Amino acid sequence: MSAQSPEGHTPQGGHLYMQTNEARNRVIHYLRAPDGQITEAERHLTGGAGSGNFNYLTDLSGIVVEGANSVILTPDNRYLLAANVGDNSVSSFSVADDGRLKPLDIKRTGNIVSGRSGTAKSLVYAASSRTLYVLHTDGPRHIRLMSVSDEGMLTARPDGYCATPSDKPQRITTMLTLAPDEKFLLVGSGLDELPARNPDGSPILWVQRNGRPHVIAANAPDPDGLAVLPVRDDGTLGDVQFHDAGGASPFCPVFLRGRPGDFVLGYAGANGVSLGTLGADGTVSTGPVVPADTSAGRLSELCWITVTPDDKLVFATMTGFSYITSWHLDGTVLSIAKDPACPKVPGDGSFRGIAGVIGAGPNDMWMTYDGAYLYQIYGNASRLVGYAVRRDGSLEEITSARIPRNSPQGLAGF
pLDDT digits over 214-268, tens only?
A: 679 999 999 999 999 999 999 999 999 999 999 999 999 999 999 989 999 999 9
Do the bridges between strand 302-307 and strand 212-215 make them parallel or antiparallel, or are there none, so unpaired?
A: unpaired
Q: Which residues contact 393 (CB under 8 A, 6 or more apart)?
A: 313, 315, 326, 327, 328, 337, 338, 341
Nearest to 169 by CA among 116, 218, 108, 115: 218
20 in a structural domain: no
Nearest to 19 by CA among 44, 2, 53, 41: 44
Determine the average pLDDT of the residues in 179-197: 94
Task: State the total domains in the chain.
Answer: 1
pLDDT surpasses 60 at 392: yes
36 in a structural domain: no
pLDDT surpasses 70 at 3: no
342 in a structural domain: yes
Do the bridges between strand 79-84 and strand 89-95 make them parallel or antiparallel, or are there none, so unpaired?
A: antiparallel
Domain that holds residue 84: 47-366+373-408
Beta strands in 51-172 (DSSP E): 71-73, 79-84, 89-95, 101-108, 120-126, 131-136, 143-148, 154-161
33 in a structural domain: no
> What is the DSSP-derived secondary structure letter of residue 110?
S
Q: In this structure, which amino acid lies at residue 71?
A: V
C-alpha to C-alpha distance for 86 and 90, rounded to whole angstroms: 11
Q: Pinpoint the alpha helices (H) of 183-279.
A: none
More confidently predicted of 339 and 356: 339
Could you tell me the pLDDT band of residue 213, with boundaries at 50, 70 and 90?
low
63 in a structural domain: yes
CA-to-CA dists, residue 284 to 33, 153, 224, 311, angstroms: 40, 35, 11, 20
pLDDT value at residue 276: 98
pTM for this entry: 0.95
189 contacts 167 by C-beta, under 8 angstroms = no
Nearest to 60 by CA among 250, 212, 176, 205: 205
Q: In this structure, which amino acid lies at residue 227?
A: A
CATH for 326: 2.130.10.10
13 in a structural domain: no
pLDDT surpasses 90 at 308: yes
29 in a structural domain: no
294 in a structural domain: yes
pLDDT value at residue 1: 29
Hey, how many other C-beta atoms are within 10 angstroms of the C-beta on 76? 9
More confidently predicted of 205 and 394: 394
